[in-house]
Structure 1
Amino acid sequence: MSSPYRATRLLAMLYLAGTAIGLASMVLPQPPGQEDAHIYAVLGASFAIGCGLLVAGPRAPRPLLFAALAGMSLLTTAGIYASNQPTSVYALFYVGMALVAFFVLGRRAALAQVAIVAIAYGGLMLHEQPPGAAERWLVTVAAVLVVGLMVGAMRRRVDELIEELSANVDRLASAATTDGLTGLVNRRGFDEGVGHELARMRRGGPPFALVLCDLDRFKDVNDSLGHPGGDRVLKRVAETFSATARDVDTVARIGGEEFGVLLPGTGEPEALAVADRLRHALELAFASDGYALTASCGVATAGEHPAADELMRAADTALDAAKQLGRNRSVASRPHLAAMVRLELGDGLAESSPLRTMLALSEALDVRDCGTATHSRTVAHHAETMARALGFTPRRTALVRLAGLLHDVGKIGVSDAVLRKPGPLDAAEWEEMRAHPEIGARLLGGVVGDLGEWVLAHHERLDGTGYPRGLTHDEIPLEARILAVADAYEAMTADRPYRAAPGPAVAARELRAGAGTQFDAQLVELFLEALAAEQAAPPPAAAPMA
């Protein structure tokens, strides 16, 4: 059936066209005995109904359409009667009614209209008794029925073609945004998803994040298993990522062995956690195979990169950094990230560089100590915040962030029993714990700049009661004092397997209580102010999409 609006307009046009044709016919010579007044009354009623249907428009209920079509048959019969010619050409209007009835109504309702025509015209023939009345009635009603059925059949075929076309369009649209190998969303669909999320963010919706994951050394997999085997691996990767991602996330294969995940309403910490889950799930899924499969992930958030091309570049830069820093890791985008990678490469970060080993070791130690791989990342972020607030150069800021990532690498020499002990440490355990800055400094000695010195001093206190060397005030490098504030704040605001976090308010109070004795007082205030500004800042307005 046609929509009510189109059906109403079509029926209104038929009424008005019939009125115009009737008026035109009145100009021609009329047969004797015709009751012109009655003809004009019929035409007036037809005009009024047509105008009423136009006014009703989409508000016209379906029963009104049925009644209007029945009214057309009755008015046609009245016009034939007033013309005093039972064989009047006005009977052709029955055919027009049938065309509309079978076009806008269902089959039963349209057949009911044909029955109304048969009864009305039959009644007229019985009343007038013209020669050949039965034959004329039969031919007229049969013609109306055949024309109507033909129109109905054509309309149904058109509807079927439209449905087939719509289904084909849907299939083509799906194929255009679906990866043929894995069944995931493809690059085009992923870009469209990013565009939709950016549009939603511009309308006041929450920011979102992207994770780009590239399989490490996948060429070796293809060389070992062949391309059909590589395709089977890609399908398993797609299944693993789909099963690991959240229901609201969109997982896509955006090219070759590169996958993307769109994370609506997600900030950087949550996005990094998702990236880590994807990597660990991938390792677990292929742990029993004859080859190790890992992935490097880059994370970027739309709050910091509110344009589609900028957001993708940021995530890709982070992914490249993850590759450069040793693979099988997740890296979040930072304004200085490219400079940080250049810095490390400039210092000779080769495939076998010890710094790569230190970064991997630091991440493993975080999981061992805290249950997650986020402790050192968070310390690095807080340290970076202070370095920026102090106006450090991009290179120095990158080094401070790197020191935050590596500040606890010396805990490789501390036992699990000491690291994870929920209660106070005894003297022997404290002695073991106090050794970790020195171990870290020895591991980092000569790797990049003064990192080893900063890590060595990050547990020193301004009042000289820190360790391992009991330094005071300006004897402690500024970068080490930055690490001390960042490390303490993170420790007080993150849960551990053996205790819940005291929380930001307690952490701020403790930092201020230790200002001037344990911590640099100026750094404490600078950090808390920068942190408050960071938390209070609204997300930047999204830039228009290119």
Structure 2
Amino acid sequence: MEGLYRLFYVLAWMGLPLGIGLQLFWHPPRGGEWGFYLLFAFLFGLALLQGPRRAPRFLAHALGAYLLFELWRGRDFPWAVGFWSPSLYLLLAFAYPLPLALALGLLWAALLSAFALWAAGGPTWPWGHFASSQPVLLALTLLLARFRELYGQVRFWRERALTCPLTGLPNRRALEMALEREAARVERGGPPFALVLLDLDGFKRVNDEGGHREGDRYLRRVARALVSGVRRGDLVARWGGDEFAVLLPGTGEKEAVEVAERLGRRLQEEGVSASLGVAVYAGDLEDLFLRADQALYRAKALGKGRVVLAPPQGRR
């Protein structure tokens, strides 16, 4: 997806010289007008050098000045500037906070409208349409920017609410939501799924000897090892404290045990010992947690550093 956004960025920059090139081809400048084009080329190039984050702020005002110049030069074809004016408002919306973008947008809309009417000598048919369209284009652009901002805020808080800040893994609530989705799939006739609960052996000693900072590094290392050891589609979550959980969609008992054993070996490569309890969903999420938890404690009782599969529902 990142490559697609880079392509969009390149296309956006290619559009500007293409539009100016068409303008020069159909309406060649006369005399000293060439100097203005060289000046705008310099300003646009300067904006490009600022990088994706800062470029809109530099480019917006250079583009506004260029549009004013084209209105003055092209009194007989106002629609050419009308095509490009939304780009000015979009750049302002990306470059500034909403209140400032609104103020600057109103300023540029007023300048473009007033200059267009002045150049035409009054509210003639094409220029009147041009002037009246500017506040509408500005309003639509800022509404789009506001929706984008709200979406970003919702996404930010949703991710914070469902992510463990220490490890970056989904948290307990996120895992519960994922388990509910998997249970609903099973009820619709989908394949079973398994849950692995994992507890680190000797984590208290790590905290006692190295302090909480070392304990945090230890947990982050465990999280990376678990993520690298699961299959595509599996979900690793921070359950709490030194406990982790792994959701294995579409997985029966035998394969779930194999995945858990592989995770145990992956952790051993990092110098980490863990006990793992495995249970397969059998129609009740509470029972799934209970059986996985009991299997985990049985693994610890048997000597730690091992995997124990919970018996089917109804058998203890």
Same-fold call, TM cutoff 0.5: yes
Amino acid in structure 2 at the alignment position of 1:189 = A
* Deviation at residue 220 of structure 1 after TM alignment: 0.8
Query: How many Å apart are 1:146 and its aligned residue?
Result: 2.7
The one-character-per-residue Cα deviations of 1:118-142 (angstroms, maximum 9, x if unpaired) are xxxxxxxxxxxxxxxx97x726765
1:324 pairs with 301, 305, 316, which one?
301
Tell me which residue corresponds to 1:300. Answer: 279
TM-score (norm 2): 0.59
Instruction: Verify the 8 A CA contact 2:200 2:273 in the aligned structure 1.
Output: yes
After superposition, the Cα gap between the structure-2 partners of 1:324 and 1:336, relative to the gap in structure 1 and judged at 3 Å, is: farther
Q: How does 1:409-448 map to 2 (within 5 A)?
A: none
The answer on whether the counterparts of 2:197 and 2:296 sit within 8 Å (CA) in structure 1 is yes
Question: Which secondary structure state, in structure 2, belongs to the residue aligned with residue 223 of structure 1?
Answer: helix
Distance 1:193 1:328 in 2: 27
- How many angstroms does 1:145 deviate by? 3.1
Please state if 1:153 is matched with 2:128.
no
Is structure 2 residue 234 aligned with structure 1 residue 257? no
Q: Distance in 1 between matches of 2:198 and 2:250?
A: 19
| Local SS of the residue matching 1:247 | coil
Structure 2 partner of 1:108: 83
8 Å CA contact 2:280, 2:288 repeated in 1? yes
- 1:317–1:338 CA contact under 8 A, matched in 2: no
What is the distance in 2 between the residues matched to 1:169 and 1:140?
Answer: 44
Q: Which has the higher contact order (CA 8 A, sep 6+)?
A: 2
**Structure 2 gap ranges (5+):** 1-81, 87-119
For the Cα contact (< 8 Å) 1:318–1:337, is it kept in 2?
Answer: no
Change over 3 Å in CA distance of 1:176–1:310 after alignment to 2: same
Report if aligned partners of 2:287, 2:313 keep a CA contact under 8 Å in 1: no
Offset of residue 336 of structure 1: 8.7
CA distance change for structure 1 residues 198 and 338 in 2, over 3 Å: closer, same or farther? closer
Output the CA distance in 1 between the equivalents of 2:228 and 2:248: 15
* Contact 2:257/2:309 (8 A) holds in 1: yes
Matched residues in 1 for 2:211 and 2:227: separation?
Answer: 24
Taking the aligned partners of 2:251 and 2:302, their CA distance within structure 1 comes to 25
Q: For the residues of structure 2 that align with 1:175 and 1:223, how far apart are their CA atoms?
A: 29
Indicate whether 1:310 and 2:295 are aligned: no
Question: Does the 8 A contact of 1:185 with 1:251 survive in 2?
Answer: yes
2:123 aligns to what SS in structure 1?
Answer: helix
Distance 1:146 1:254 in 2: 59
TM-score relative to the length of structure 1: 0.35
Alignment of 1:11-22 (within 5 A): none
Cα deviations across residues 103-158 of structure 1 (Å, max 9, x unaligned)?
Answer: xxxx63999xxxxxxxxxxxxxxxxxxxxxx97x7267655433321011011011
Correspondence for 1:277: 262
Structure-1 separation of matches of 2:128 and 2:231: 63
Check if 1:188 corresponds to 2:167: no
Other structure's SS at 1:272 match: helix
Partners of 2:161 and 2:128 lie apart in 1 by: 49
Q: Would the alpha carbon gap of residues 140 and 206 (structure 1) be closer, same or farther in structure 2, given more than 3 Å must change?
A: same
The answer to whether the 8 A contact 2:194-2:280 is kept is yes
The aligned amino acid for 2:309 is A
Number of the residue aligned with 1:165: 150
Question: What is the rounded CA distance, in whole Å, between the counterparts of 1:110 and 1:221 in structure 2?
Answer: 61
Letter matched to residue 299 of structure 1: V
CA distance in 2, matches of 1:276, 1:138: 79
Alpha-carbon contact 2:182-2:249 (below 8 Å) kept: yes
Identity %: 42
Count matched residues.
202
Partners of 2:313 and 2:251 in 1: CA distance = 22
Match in the other structure for 2:310: 333
Two-structure CA RMSD over aligned residues (Å): 2.5
SS at match of 2:233: coil
Residue aligning to 2:203: 218
Query: Residues 325, 337 of structure 1: CA spacing in aligned structure 2 closer, same or farther, 3 A cutoff?
Result: farther
